[in-house]
Amino acid sequence: MASKCASENRSIGKGNKDEHGHMSDSFYNHEGRLAKKSNRIGNMENDDHERALERTMRAVNSASIAVTLRSQGSLGHGEGSAPGLDGVFAKQEPEAPIHIDTDENDPEIHHLHSEGLSSALAAELLKKFGRNELPEKKKPKWLIFAEQLYQPMPLMIWAAIIIEAAIESWPDMGILLAIQFMNASLSYYETTKAGDAVAALKASLKPVAYVKRDGKFLSMDAALLVPGDLVLLGSGGAVPADCVVMDSQIDVDQAALTGESLPVTMFKGDSVKMGSTVVRGEVEATVEATGANTFFGRTASLLSGGDEVSNLQKLLIRIMIILVVLSMALCGIAFGYLLGRGETVRESLSFTVVLLVASIPIAIEIVCTTTLALGSRELAKDGAIVSRLAAIEDMAGMSILCSDKTGTLTLNKMMIQEETPIYVEGETQYSLLRYAAMASKWTEPPRDALDTLVHGAADMASLASIKQLDYMPFDPTIKRTEGTVQLPSGETFKVSKGAPHIIMHLVDQEVHAATVAQCDKDVEALGERGIRSLAVAKTKGSADGPWELIGLLTFLDPPRPDTKDTIERANKFGVEVKMITGDHLLIAKETARQLSMGTTIENAALLPKLEEDGKPPKNLMDYFKYIEATSGFAQVFPEHKFLIVEALRRGGYKTGMTGDGVNDAPALKRADVGVAVQGSTDAARAAADIVLTKPGLSTIVTAIIVARTVFGRMTSFITYRIAATLQLLIFFFIAVLTMQPAKYEPAGALEEWPAFFHMPVMMLMLITLLNDGTLISIGYDNVVPNTTPDKWNLKVLFTIAGVLGGVALLSSLLMLWVALNSHNPAGIWAQAGLAGLTYGQITSMVYLKVSISDFLTLFSSRSGAGFFWTNKPSAILLVAAGIACSLSTIMANAWPESRPDGVPTIGLARVAPKELSLYVWIYCLLCWFIQDAAKVGVYAFLKKYNIFGINDIVAMKKADPVEMA
């Protein structure tokens, strides 16, 4: 069939132009087989192939010997009962049911030939070659949980736990242990959930093979295939391993391997690769390679070593290092100060350690992971399964999307096009399709891809009354089909379809000179656009009458209906789409024209290749400007895709890659965001970060929107978390060094006021737990996504967080000073006519003030450069914050009179004035308005003078340059 397809399209198909301007047959040889240079994707060199065959045969012979010995009692018995090896083979020489054939067309090429294996021999070979699966590294879940306990933040908590145990502060140690395991459990749950979803998808798509075992064919898991197995390849089935065709011929769709849209005919001795699909015919084939030795496995070698720390992880590590260093420095100074003032080591250390744990962003990774996980669930509802959570953050900053063409931008299905040149007056595309159908066996199933195209588009019901008198099938020497038909009226004529240059020679060249010239011109114009065409002619008057050329049917693998809209929407969000395809240059240009992707589609011949050691060439960046300026590349091989993505990443672009085939897998793995579209091969899904389960690319734009929404949520949280850390840490640092409650102790006080201000450990932990618990709800917050790619700007982040935290801590210090000075008749408190406060009241006041300010800071940080009321929060966030604020207020009012950690404490509602908590709330709200106004003012100042590059939208389209190891 591929012979026919190739021959019928010699002058119009995929070949390059020759010196006369005609299309050559560079993709098909004279027999209709795929030319070797196109089929080399996934093929080994001859020497490597021969060595592989030798290894396989040695393994088969070794397994045969083991099975023979076992069957004769030589293995698995006592030492005395087993005859010697020579004795066994003196009686019976084992014969392997596999031998090596020589290719009849090329004596230098050899292939395995099998008659089928026994179950025993197959089991022995399975031990030697392993399962027919992609190499996969799977981390056990217990290890994933254990890792949550020895990350940098958990290690600091462990240090604090050890210190608390050493000083025998058991309640504090218990609180820290509870926080440690709660954080680890939550992080484990969110980390494993997405991985489980992908594993479930992979399990549901497990391939099945029909294999001959013990003399009969049976259906079995394709993962159990071994080299030497005899399998049955049938229409509609996937090729389960690298196989060699034993007899007859089949048509194979190799789009996942080569990007070629039309099926290719495979004859006896041809190698069929795992990942391709049989579209017509049925043959027996011998498995030559499985698992890591298949093209899948060899592709996987490019995928290894691609794992790296995500940009989000790098960012969080930088933020945590800055905050932890600052926390340790200030806590260290406070610890030394307390020791210098005569405080005991135990008391000083207990306070300092708890302050350190409370101030550092313990849950920053957990909240970010939760936010990403919630985003992944949003994507799952739209048909996108996220296998790497950090890819959502990467997608938010993606500025270039490299897309495969066949099956991704297009339908991977040849279809008749509307463009139909007609050369006979009165004829239409409708009648032309009917004539084309008459040149086939229309009452039988289609015999090839072209018949399938015609039968699918023609009005087949209208042919019921037409009788076919004779039919001439396709023959490589004639290169056309012909049918003789009779209409109900009795009129008889012949119809033929085939390659234009063949059909044109049927007509009288002098009589129809103008028509032939026009047809030749049309064919050339269509060829320039990569559109294939099929000519149709009929005899006039009778079956023996003169031929007349009726017209041309054009066909192409068309774009998906939603692709153009998807690309336009991606462009609106600042994402450029580049086409990267293995298909022919002209076809790629025509597809790009239809999708308005630009016309600068280049041939991959000018691109570099990988070094012999598999690494990118040292001069890769010499090609960066060339790659950056093009709209896409055609006729690329897997290494080209890999290098294109690599060059763009090194050049500073966050790069995405979509694809569905084995040839896309290395680039999918190397890209910042790899997207495997619906129906992707196992290799593509394994390499991708996001797997689409719905057809088309519209989900990608949805994913971009969701990703930028998630990015906005994380920006809000991280800004808040930095601000909260600065507020808590610096507030207590200044309070310890400057506020000495003992100096403010009034005469006749019922309890002794401490020498330095500090808060009970329980209160500090409650602030941390309630805040972090509320922050998880930020994953549901309302965010307006940016229309340009997002990028982290730490200088702006810390500046805004510093403003928010600075206003909050200053207001807390002011309130603490006023409260401590409440017994001073000239003080602000006394001047307001309020009675002096006990130290227990002051402790609860500060707890309530710090708690409420933290929650209000969150609402200010989430609105970005606008006032807090410009972006309505989600109902979930409001409810969570409301519950946390209510609990903090209740505890501040109802706290029993006690001395936790030696600090006098009493609920605000237990003594007069009982409305004290209301005053604290009013004060917090007034300070919040000031805080929010200061934030808006600083944003305006930064934007006015473009400080820290806050306005650099072009720079925002680029990621930080990636350094290669």
What amino acid is encoded at 595 in this protein?
L
Whether residue 906 is contained in a domain is answered as: yes
Does residue 804 register a pLDDT over 90?
Answer: yes
- Number of Cβ within 10 Å of residue 835's Cβ equals 12
Count the domains in the chain.
4
Q: Are residues 457 and 526 in the same domain?
A: yes
Mean pLDDT of the chain: 80
Asked if residue 514 and residue 571 are part of one domain, the reply reads no
Output the domain CATH number for residue 126: 2.70.150.10
Identify whether 111 is part of a domain: no
Instruction: Find the domain containing 260 and state its range.
Output: 116-289
Contact 33, 76 (CB under 8 A): no
Residue 93 lies in a domain: no
Write down the pLDDT at residue 764.
83
- 120-129, 361-370, 760-769, 880-889, range with the lowest pLDDT: 361-370
**Residue after which a domain boundary falls, among 289, 313, 348:** 289
- Residues 547 and 467 grouped into a single domain: yes
Band (8; pLDDT cuts 50, 70, 90) = very low
DSSP 260-285: --S-EEEETT-EE-TT-EEEE-EEEE
Per-residue model confidence (pLDDT) at position 91: 37
Let me know whether 632 and 538 are in one domain.
no
For the chain, what's the residue count?
965
Specify the higher pLDDT residue, 929 or 236.
Answer: 929
CATH number of the domain enclosing 396: 3.40.50.1000
What would the mean pLDDT of 209-234 be, rounded to a whole number? 88
Q: Of the candidates 289, 324, 355, which is a domain's last residue?
A: 289
pLDDT of residue 90: 35
Q: Answer whether residue 522 is part of any domain.
A: yes
pLDDT score recorded for residue 116? 84
Structure tokens at 587: 């076809």
Residue 12's pLDDT is: 29
Predicted confidence band at 497 (pLDDT cuts at 50, 70, 90)?
very high
For residue 391, the model assigns a pLDDT of 87
Angle (CA) 674-675-676 rounded to 5° is: 120
For the residues 429-446, what does the mean pLDDT come to? Answer: 92
**pLDDT value at residue 47:** 54
- Please compute the mean of the pLDDT values over residues 294-300 and round it to a whole number: 63
Q: Are residues 506 and 575 in the same domain?
A: no
CB under 8 Å to 929, separation ≥6 — which residues? Answer: none
Lowest mean pLDDT among 233-237, 285-289, 942-946: 233-237
Say if 953 falls within a structural domain. no
The reply to whether 120 and 269 lie within a common domain is yes
Q: The tokens of 62 are what? A: 């070794």
Q: Are residues 682 and 651 in the same domain?
A: yes
Query: What confidence tens digit (pLDDT) does each residue in 912-946 have?
Result: 888 999 999 999 999 999 999 999 999 999 999 99
Helices (H), 382-491: 390-396, 429-438, 449-457
**Residue from 835, 830, 826, 838 nearest 746 by CA:** 838
Tokens of 600: 């600068």
Instruction: Look at residue 299 in the predicted model and tell me its pLDDT.
Output: 57
Query: Of all residues in the chain, what percent carry a pLDDT higher than 90?
Result: 31
Q: How confident is the model at residue 52 (pLDDT cuts 50, 70, 90)?
A: low
The confidence score (pLDDT) of residue 60 equals: 67
R_g of the chain, CA atoms, integer Å: 37
pLDDT at 1 (0 to 100): 36
What is the predicted pLDDT for the residue at 772? 75
Q: Which residue has the higher pLDDT, 374 or 820?
A: 820
Q: Are residues 586 and 549 in the same domain?
A: no
Distance CA 63, CA 119 (A): 12
Question: Dihedral, CA atoms, 751, 756, 759, 760, nearest 10 degrees?
Answer: -60
The closest alpha carbon to 725, from 158, 176, 148, 326, belongs to 326
Q: Whole-prediction pTM value?
A: 0.71
Residue 210 lies in a domain: yes
Which residues are catalytic, by number? 404
Give 87: exposed, middle or buried? Use CB within 10 Å, 0-12, 13-18, 19+.
Answer: exposed
pLDDT band (50, 70, 90) for residue 164 = confident
Residue 686 belongs to some domain of the structure: yes
Choice among 50-64, 160-174, 276-290, 735-749 with the minimum mean pLDDT:
50-64
CA–CA separation, 667 and 644 (whole Å): 8
Are 541 and 448 part of one and the same domain? yes
CATH code of the domain covering residue 492:
3.40.1110.10
Number of helices (H), then strands (E), belonging to the chain: the values are 32, 25
107 neighbors 100 (Cβ within 8 angstroms): no
Q: Are residues 276 and 405 in the same domain?
A: no
Lowest mean pLDDT among 389-393, 484-488, 791-795, 924-928: 389-393
Q: Please indicate, yes or no, whether residues 896 and 862 belong to a single structural domain of this protein.
A: yes
Residue 222 neighbours by CB under 8 Å, 6+ apart: 132, 206, 207, 208, 209, 240, 241
936 φ, ψ to 5°?
A: -60, -40
Boundary-marking domain end, from 521, 556, 591:
556
User: pLDDT tens, 103-145?
Assistant: 555 555 556 677 888 888 888 888 888 888 766 667 788 888 8
In a domain, 655, yes or no: yes
pLDDT computed for residue 805 by the predictor = 95
Question: Per-residue pLDDT for 441 more than 50?
Answer: yes
pLDDT of residue 870: 92
Bridge-based pairing state of the strands 576-580 and 400-403: parallel
CATH number at 821 reads 1.20.1110.10
- Do residues 265 and 304 lie in contact, with contact meaning Cβ atoms separated by under 8 Å? no
**Residue 187 pLDDT grade (very low, low, confident, very high; cuts 50, 70, 90):** confident
> Does residue 898 sit in the same domain as residue 755?
yes
Q: How far apart are CA 103 and CA 670, in angstroms?
A: 38
